[in-house]
Structure formats: C-alpha cells, structure tokens
Amino acid sequence: MLDEQATARIDLAKQRLRARLLARRRTALAALTAGGAGTGAGAGAGAGDVGGLAPRILALPEVARATCVAAYVGLPGEPELGDLLDRLLAAGTQVLLPALRTDLDLDFRTYLGTLVPGALGTREPPSAAPVGDLGLAGVVIVPALAVDRRGRRLGRGGGSYDRALVRVAAQATVIAVVHDQELLDHVPTAPHDRGVHLVVTPSRILHCGPDGVTGEHPEPSTG
C-alpha cells in the first residue's frame, strides 16, 4: 500500500500529464475545426476515423466472437470510432453504453439505436433503455487520454471507469482507443487504477504485456 507522499507524487504526475494531453487534444481539435473537419461528438484530434477504426475493431477476434460489447460514444478530440456502434448492433451484438451517475460511477444501458445528451457533454442511451450487466460483456472498449506498454491507462480524472472496470469479468478483453502519440512508455498509476489488454490507435493494434513488452496484435482482415 502506498504512503501519502507516494500517492501525492502519483496524483501530481497524473495531473501534469493529463493537462498536457488535454491541451494537445484541444489544439488539434481547434485546427480541425478551423480546417472545416467538423466538431461533432467523437471528432478525432488530428486523425478522424483514420484507417477505419470501426472495421478494424470489429474484425478483432475478441470482438467478433463477443455476444455483448460495452463501448462508448466519443467526445470531441477523441479518436473517431465511426459507425462502430451501429455495425455492432447490425451484427446482432448486444451493445452497452455508459451513463454517468451522480456518484461518478457508470451505469451501462443497452444501446438500441438512439442517443440523448448526457452529463459533461456525453451522449448516452435514454433513461428508459434497459440497464445491462457489465459483467456479461466479453469486450469492454474504453476511452483514454494515454496508455503505456504495460496497459496502464490514464483517464480524465473522475475515476468512473476505474469503478466500472471492477465489475468486468476476469476473462473479458478490455480495449483502449487512443491517438498514436498517446501510446506512451510510462503512465503513472495507483494500485486502484485498472489496466487494459489491447490498445487500438489509428495505425496500430497492440497487445499490452505485464512485463512492459508490447506485442503487435495480428492485424485483422477487414476485407
């Protein structure tokens, strides 16, 4: 267990890294907006749906065999997932999307094709949508500001996904989607922070190893 000084050092390192990454995303998004690339929710910073993130994610064996996938609707500046949700739905996959609770934990509601405005600029299924069981998801796709080669993930600081990921089944595959430059050599983390197994960027699919060795995940065929 970390002492107070060690915890404070980690928290400060997270805050500084988070501030740099968010500033870089804002700058890239502003440049896209000025260039007329659009500002819709999920508009990517510097890449958009580069290389077709949606078909590449869908072709991953872990995703292809999952009957239930938990995903998210991207915020401006996050990598653009394209029509991932609708394509999962069309394939007969149960799709769960997060809805932020007042205690900053996440409920996961079943996506049926409709989204409404949620907290903090997010979009989510309407409150009438059935609440799903995150523990039944074979794949959980999460946003991140950065991920390192051990799969350590940096979020936006609210801790919502760290709370939610506790409920993920041990055999489930957790996938983070980030921009290429957000795959780092080291991300500061505390013991309660939850890691990921795969990282998808606009140009790479990587398997994160506990020893810090990141292996190239076999690139799925999208043909």
Provide the CATH number for the domain around residue 147: 3.40.50.10420
C-alpha torsion sign, points 205, 64, 145, 186: negative
Specify if 74 maps to a domain: yes
> Sheet holding 146-148: strands in order across?
153-154, 146-148, 183-184
Closest CA to 127 of 97, 160, 165: 97
Number of domains in the chain: 1
Specify if 221 maps to a domain: no
94 φ/ψ angles, rounded to the nearest 5 degrees:
-70, 130
- Token look-up 């009957």 returns 67
Write out the chain's pLDDT in tens, 223 residues.
678 888 899 999 999 999 999 999 999 999 888 876 544 334 433 344 444 899 989 999 999 999 999 999 999 999 989 999 999 999 999 999 999 998 989 999 999 999 999 988 899 999 999 999 999 999 999 999 999 999 999 999 888 998 999 999 999 999 999 999 999 999 998 887 889 999 999 999 999 976 655 566 555 555 5
Specify if 222 maps to a domain: no
Range of the domain at 99: 4-216
Specify if 223 maps to a domain: no
Specify if 59 maps to a domain: yes
Distance in angstroms (rounded) separating the CA atoms of residues 184 and 173: 20
Specify if 73 maps to a domain: yes
Specify if 109 maps to a domain: yes
pTM (2 decimals)? 0.86
Specify if 120 maps to a domain: yes
